[in-house]
Structures are given as structure tokens and as C-alpha cells.
Amino acid sequence: MKKKSSRKRPSRFRLFRVIVLAGVLLTLALIFLVSTLGSQQFGSLHKLILEAVGPLQKTVSIGSSTVNRFKSEYVDILQDSLRLREKNKQLVKQLQENEIKLNRSREAMATNASLRKLLEFKNSLGQQSKLAASIIGKDPSTMFRSVIIDQGSNAGITKGDPVVNDEGVVGQVFAISPNYAKVLLAIAPSSAIDVLLQKSRVRGILKGDGTLTYRLEYILKTAEVQEGEYVVTAGYGGIFPTGLRVGVVSEIIRKPRGMFHEIKVTPSVDYQKLEHLLILHQPNLAEIKQLEQP
Amino acid sequence: MIVINFIVVGLLLVIAQTTVFMPQVDWLPAPDFYFVLVAFLAYRLELIHCLLILFPLACFLDVLCGTVLGSYALICFSGFFLLKTANEKLPIREPLYQIPLIGLVYLAVHYLVYQLLNFLQPDHLVPWSWSPMCIRTLLVMLLAYPFFFFFEKVRTFSVSNLLPWNRIRLRTDNRRRRRT
């Protein structure tokens, strides 16, 4: 029984204490609020609080600014560098793409210029039927000189058709398949073309010697030939049209013996840059007969 | 399988030789890949396989290069048999000696074929010149080692039986079973 009564007394006392404390605090708060709002003065309590909180605030502020500075100096730089690296990659890629485009456009321009020349030359040939072709393969042997073109008998090419480009005579078709043909270049030793010296009107046979020069044969020593004279196709055989450029006389070797001059001719065609060609259709015998009939 | 693979390799080599590695019509350092293949065949493969590969290879070459049909067939076959005979007869079979032998045979075969063609069709060939031929011989010798390595890989790949022909082949019966 004693024990029970001793438990109840402190609980009542505690409740009383709480109520008193709350009343005091509320009263003080009310006084503080009324005094503060009423006087509008930064009192000693405010100063005390400020003095107490100030260092903490200062510390936090310094810490924050240090963190911000660190962030701006290191983290942002890192982010920037990563961003720059990404940007750099993009720019390098863009540059490469642009370079590829530039190269393609340059190539297209060069091809365009080459084809334009060929077209002008084709138009200058008049009514003779002709066909454009491109070189797709070159003979790698040291014994022969030939190329393969991307047009064949399906396009109307026949064996023996002359092959030219805008610079002059290139060679003659010597083997054909439905879609491709082999061209014997005029610099090949087995090639022989009937030509004329343009100024002196002397006729000769132009042969290749495997190098980038021709040999002009069967020009009599009595004929007056000068260096720099143009050599053109004679057109006697009916294969090549008359007057197509072949080359320029570059050297005349006058030997004491023999009947003929030994003449070297520089080709008008640049064989190192051969790309696009024109195949002139050789008029066949039936066509020639038709032309001959009135 | 090995025959087909080497025919394809040969065709690709000829195409590369006549296009990519031939920028100009008179390009001097044009590598003769085909002859390295001929040498590899002579050294490493069985005769029947070699012949089956050499016929189409010579045909590709004759079609894509040259003006006298059969000249490349002559070069390929004479080079092949010369190298094969030399490989069988010579006591030394080390790669160190085999590579100069390829160069020597290349030069000799080209010279002999040139003389023969020049005899048959005079003034139809580019005049013989030793300096470009020596450069090409050197190129063939330089290319021999890496290309032999590549061809060896092709050979290993071809004999590795990726397609299990042996498994799917129909077998008639157990040959060792006793007849009753």
C-alpha cells in the first residue's frame, strides 16, 4: 500500500512543474515578442545569438566557398575537359567527313573536267559513231602493253576499232567479250598506225617501242622533217579518221646508212593518266559499200 | 576445298595486280603476285592439286594480261615444274635458299619465254631490259616470305575440314568385317 501512494505523488508534481514551466516560457515568449515587435531594437539577446551563430555561419560559408572554388577549379575543369574532349571528337569526326566529302568533290570535279574534254572531243568528231568507256585493268607484264575497258560487243564494239581520247590516238581494240574489251596501246611494239607528218605531208608508219615514245618508220631521207612537227593519223586504212593527233616529232636520228630516217615521236596522249576513252566504230565493209553507192 | 580456295586467292591476286598495283600502263614496280603463288604451289602442295589450280590461274592471267594467249600459261607451268624439280632434287630445302631460288627461276623463266615469243613473233614484244626485270625479281623475292605465310594460313584453313565432308560422306560398309 505504501508503495502505491509513493508512485502517484511525483507524477502529480511533475505535471504541475510542466504546466508552470510552460506558463513561464509562454509568458517570457510573449514578453519577448511584445518587446521586440514594439521596440524594433536589435537587443542584447539578438546580439548574443548573432555572436554565437556568426562563427558557425562563417565556417559554413568559408567551407561552402572552398567547396565551390574547388568545384569550379577542379570538378568543372574536369567536366569541361570531358565535354571538350567529346566536342573535339565530334569536330575531328566532322573534319574527317568533310575531308572525305572534299576529296570526293575534287575527284568528281576532276572526272567532270576529264569527261567534259572527252565530250567536246566527241562532238568535234562529227557524225562518226563513238562510245565512251573507262579503263578497268592494266597489263602488268613487261612484255606487252594493253588495257581492259568496260565496254564490249554488246555495246557494238568490234575487233580493230580505234580507241582515242581528247588528247589523241590511244590504240586499237584487239579482243572483245560481250561486256569488256582489250585495247592494244599504240606504245606496244605490235601496234602500227598509218600516219602523216602534218606540215611536210610525208606518210609513215608509227610503231610503239614499249616505252612512252613512238618510232616513226619508213620516212625517206629525202623528206624534210623537222623536230616539233605534228604527227596525225593518215586515215588511209579506213580505220582511224584522218587528222587525229598522234604526237610530236621529238628527235630525228640521221644515220649515214639506210634509206630511212629514224624518228622518235612523243605521244600527244599522256599514257600515265589514261582513264576515260572513246571507241570509234570502225565502218564495216557493208557500210562502206552503202556509202559508195550513189 | 583447297583447290577452290587457292583458285579464288589466285583470282584475287591477279585482279589486285592488274588494278590496285598497276596505277600506270608502264608501272615498273608492279608486283607479280601470281608467281609467288606458283612457287608456293610447287613447294607445298600435291601435284594434282597444283595442276587444278594452275590451269585456271594461267587462264585468268592470259585473259587479263598480255596480248599473246598462252604466254602466261607457259610462264606458270615452266616456273612451277622448274621449282618443283629443283625442290625435289636439291639437297637443301631451307626457306633461306628457297626464296632466292624463286627469284632465279622467275628471271630465267621470263627470259626464256621472252626469247621464245620473240622468236615466234619478232618485234611484237617490248624490248628486253634487265633493270626492270631485276627490280621485279627482287619484288617477287621480297613478297615471297609474307605471301608464303598467308598462303600457309589459307592451306591450313582449307585442310581444317570446316565442312565435315568426312562425316556426311556415305560409307558402304565396314571394310574390315569378315565375310561369312
Q: pLDDT per residue over B92-147, tens digit each?
A: 767 677 888 999 999 999 999 999 999 988 888 888 989 999 999 999 999 998 99
Question: Bigger pLDDT: A125 or B151?
Answer: B151
In whole angstroms, what is the distance from residue A96 CA to residue A185 CA? Answer: 39
In a domain, B164, yes or no: no
Query: What confidence category does residue B75 fall into, taking pLDDT thresholds of 50, 70 and 90?
Result: very high
Q: Is B168 a member of any domain?
A: no
- Contact list in A for residue B18 (CB cut-off 8 A) is 137-140, 148
Q: With beta carbons under 8 A apart, name residues in chain B contacting A173.
A: none
| Interface mutation target, options B126, B138, B143, chain A, most CBs of A under 10 Å | B126
Contact A229, A151 (CB under 8 A): no
pLDDT on residue B79: 94
Range list of H helices, chain B: 2-18, 33-44, 47-64, 71-89, 95-120, 130-159, 165-168
- Alpha-carbon distance of B81 to A268, in angstroms, equals 44
Band the pLDDT of B177: cuts 50, 70, 90.
Answer: low
Q: Which residues constitute the domain of residue B107?
A: 2-156
Structural domain contains residue B139: yes
- Is residue B133 domain-resident? yes
Q: Considering its fold, how many domains does chain B have in total?
A: 1
Contact B67 A188 (CB under 8 A): yes
Specify the range with the lowest mean pLDDT, choosing from A218-222, B6-10, B170-174. Answer: B170-174
Cβ(A208)–Cβ(A157) below 8 Å: no
Torsion angle in degrees (nearest 10) through CA of A218, A223, A228, A232:
-50
Q: Report the C-alpha gap between A24 and A29 in whole angstroms.
A: 8
Q: Report how far residue B169's alpha carbon sits from residue B149's, in angstroms, rounded to the nearest whole number.
A: 32
Which pLDDT score, from 0 to 100, does residue A1 have?
44
Torsion (CA) A144, A145, A148, A152 in degrees, nearest 10 = -90
Give the pLDDT score at A238: 73
From the list A137, A184, A211, which residue is nearest B67 (CB)?
A: A184
- Crossing angle (nearest 10°) for helices B95-120 and B71-89: 140
Query: Once rounded to an integer, what is the mean pLDDT over residues B33-48?
Result: 92
Picking from B18, B124, B126, the nearest residue to A140 by CB comes out as B18
Report residue A262: phi and psi, to 5°.
-110, 110
Q: Give all domains of chain A, ordered by start, each with its CATH number.
A: 130-292 (2.40.10.340)
- Chunked into runs of 10 residues, chain A (294 residues) has average pLDDT values of 54 86 87 73 71 76 81 80 90 90 84 79 72 88 88 88 89 90 91 88 88 88 86 82 88 83 90 87 60 53
- Answer yes or no: do A148 and B121 touch at CB < 8 A: no
**Domain contains B162:** no
Q: Rounded to whole angstroms, how far apart are CA atoms A157 and B160?
A: 47
pTM, 2 dp: 0.69
Q: What is the mean pLDDT of residues B11-27?
A: 88
CB atoms near residue A292 (< 10 Å): 7
How much is the pLDDT for A292? 53
Model ipTM over 0.95 = no
Chain B residues touching residue A272 (CB < 8 angstroms): 24-26
A–B CB contacts, 8 A cutoff, strictly below: 91
| CA separation for the pair A155, A176 (Å, rounded) | 11
A267 min Cα distance to partner chain B (Å): 14
**Is residue B109 included in any domain, yes or no?**
yes
Give me B118's grid cell: 620473240
| Residue in A136, A144, A209 nearest the CB of B67 | A144
How confident is the model at residue B154, as a pLDDT? 92
| DSSP symbol at A71 | I
